[in-house]
Amino acid sequence: MKRIKIYLGGPIFSIGEKQFNLNLANSLEKKVPGISFILPQEYANKITKKRNFAKKMFTYCIESIDKADIILCLLDGPDVDSGTALEIGYAFAQRKPIIGLRSDFRNSEIRGVNLMIIGACTEFYWLPNHRKASKDYIQIIAGTIRRIARGVK
């Protein structure tokens, strides 16, 4: 089977967000053989104090979405992160499979997410039950990645 590249979109502005992203990617890589993650936060860490940070970061994210086979986006917060929304729109225009994951229990619009975001997602999961272990999220997302990967050429 071809190695599947997954772009992980979502906020990367706090230690907690970055740690969640890293834990999610590492857990899924252990669960699904043959996948690897593109984590924009790793590139951001390398160039944070560099000149033209915003332009470099934007270019990196767009080029990484182009290289990815699957897009996994975190949709937590009172509204989806604006950068993540753009990544979803760009990936949708490229006809990339998009998995949306929301663990936030806040509920407005459609399970807390704007209908345009949900409409662009190939699969959308709202898993707000904080009593469930994160391994349940991993199980669900891993199964979806396996299913989508079977159709990736």
Tell me the CATH number for domain 4-150: 3.40.50.450
Query: What's residue 130's pLDDT?
Result: 56
Helix (H, G, I), strand (E, B) or coil at 151: coil
Beta bridge partners, 7, equal 38, 71
Among 26-30, 90-94, 109-113, where is mean pLDDT lowest? 109-113
Query: What's residue 131's pLDDT?
Result: 56
Query: CB–CB of 27/134 below 8 Å?
Result: yes
Where do the structural domains in the chain lie, given as residue ranges?
A: 4-150
Q: What's the rounded mean pLDDT across residues 127-152?
A: 81
Q: What's the rounded mean pLDDT across residues 31-39?
A: 96
Per-residue three-class SS string for 24-88: HHHHHHHHCCCEEEECHHHHHHHHCCCCCHHHHHHHHHHHHHHHCCEEEEECCCCCCCHHHHHHH
Query: What's residue 10's pLDDT?
Result: 94
> Quick one: what percent of the chain has pLDDT higher than 70?
89
Residue type at 7? Y
What is the sign, positive or negative, of the torsion defined by CA atoms of 69, 42, 47, 90?
A: positive
